[in-house]
Structure 1
Amino acid sequence: MSETEEMGEELAIATLPLDAWHRAKGARMVEFAGYHMPIQYEGIMAEHLWTRESAGLFDVSHMGQLVLSGDGVAEALETLVPGDISALKPGRMRYSLLLAEDGGILDDLMITNTGHSLYMVVNGAVKWDDIAHLREHLPDAVDMNLLDDQALLALQGPKAVEILTALGIRPEFDDIVPVDRLVFMQAGPYLWGEVRLGVSRSGYTGEDGFEISVPAEHVAALADALCANDAVRPIGLGARDSLRLEAGLPLYGHDLDPATDPVEGDLGFAISKRRREEANFPGAARILGHLADGAPRKRVGLTVEGKLPVREGARLFDGNREVGIVTSGGFAPSVGAPIAMGYVPRDHAAPGTALAAEVRGKRVPVAVAAMPFVPHRYVRKMGA
């Protein structure tokens, strides 16, 4: 590769608003989803365990933050996703799936009813594809704005709530509960001094925690304020991946893709009861058929015998017959052993089913396991 080509490749990779902040903290940066992002600071194992025990600060500003507004916006979005968006109350969130015409998954995403619009967070690697798909299929009456001047932080771990409360973040309006009274999948507008924040009790680690949308010009100050608390450490992509794997949460582009429908992906819960009855979402015939009769294959968890990690792309065998593939895998610090997830035929999906994964030409014994590998610790009601 020539020097000019190297410069062109470098310029093609975007930087996060916190890029300099990460580097000053000693982060090792890698390219991910078109951005320079921190993969680790002090080490993946230490960062993973710190998040489970205390609180980790993740920069997820590569994600796409979208606002959809206009008359009939919820009904319009329901033509593209299988969730009951019309019934979503103000301040509530829902996990959903952007579906292709045949029911394949184009992306998984979070939708929040802000009371006057729908706020969506989509995956960074496909956000431009999502935007193009939405613009093509939503009616002209729906306005869509990409919040490219907003950063997104995730504070995750058992101490997250006390840390965020100590920061003095307050509700913007009288009918909004304090941040420590939010429950899982609830969100609202808040103020940090005079800085407006969107705060939700959510995240992708399996731990209790929050995601915070903040103007990019203020994100470094907020990150500094959070990390001033000794209970908080910055955490990189490596630990985010191992945490979500232990939590049994799929990563789009690895565990989910356009060739996979929600039932195959073990995401049937994202298809709301009303939408099942109405059968008017993309790929409804295929998806409802799989719900009724079972999908031909299914995403499953896998425990691994021994210490050798089984990673994405490893083929799965039943005896000498190839039956599936691993889509995510690695060492799980909280489990103390390698784990994985992947796809196997329906008749091989029962927990306890013995299989083998091919790693470097060797067969490693694995077994289908229920997920999550580590119990979720979401706060679903106050006092929980």
Structure 2
Amino acid sequence: MHQMYNQSTFKEDLVSWFDKNQREMPWRETTNPYYIWLSEVMLQQTQVKTVIDYYHRFIHRFPTVSDLSEAHEDEVLKYWEGLGYYSRARNFHTAIKDIHENYNDRVPDVPEIFGALKGVGPYTQAAVMSIAYDLPLATVDGNVFRVWSRLNNDTRDTKLQTTRKAYESELQPYVQSDAGTFNQAMMELGALICTPKNSLCMFCPVQAHCEAFYNGTVEELPVKSTKIKKKHIKQHVFIIKNTKGEFLIEKRKQKLLNNMWEFPMYEAQSTQDINSTLTTNIEFTSSPVYTLKHQFTHITWDMEVFLATEIIDGSNIRLPEQMTWMHLDDKEAYNFPVSMTKIYKFLAQHT
């Protein structure tokens, strides 16, 4: 049975990977909250490789809060030219002038005060406060939405404010110490390994903790639409046992859960049935012996399990190459999705 991670080993695995594999970035080599804040503002909707040169030029020209506060907006925007989203620069400049006038050029280390500054949203607040001051705030950006939703096989809509709040709360236990390191590790994992497409799951340091990897739903997450319409598909699952006490299983060819093993299953409305597959007549119970639902991001399987009414002599049947016989004791040799594992457990208890 799959076991979800516990907090300590998950964090240890993640941070250990980050310590060895993090990319070199100039703002990771400073504890100056002004520089860290600047980098976070520049990195909003802009790639790291683009930001680095801008960051160096900006802090060379405006090395302190005081220097930037005294600069004219036109010059500030000139140093921002090409980065786009210029409201970021204007808001940052306004906030810096506020700090110069009201906080003696020191970036506040009180989250509520910092969060009230112009242009500082929940993500920037958490990032700067945790990285610069190690305060226990969890960052939730696009990378973290993706990583956390996959770790938990979570289909909540990441566009909703309620989901952000929930994620921030669920991540709180991990930022009670070394908050900045943990937050950066989560974001780095999303940037380098747990990418939007073609995730490098085989190289993931926390693969053993990932429910989406276990369920085969990595590419479906995170959910970003505010209107999720789930399609219901009625599936018939057929349980066939042979005289050796083995059960028939089949390797999936479909895109969803591709190459995972299952008890033969077909959509209820499909004209294909188990008889045509096995080229023999097998009778099944007229009503299902077990029913279950399994939810994916946009699909729900309503599954009905039917049992062959007699044990068959498997030696008389030539199986297609994607099928084989499996003894219940040998299940660990096959990669089963969660829904089929539930059926397996039912069989183990009732046959």
Same fold (TM over 0.5): no
Task: Say which structure is richer in helix.
Answer: 2
Task: Say which structure is richer in strand.
Answer: 1
Radius of gyration: which is bigger? 2
Q: Relative contact order (alpha carbons < 8 A, sep ≥ 6): 1 or 2 greater?
A: 1
Provide TM-score, normalisation by structure 1. Answer: 0.21
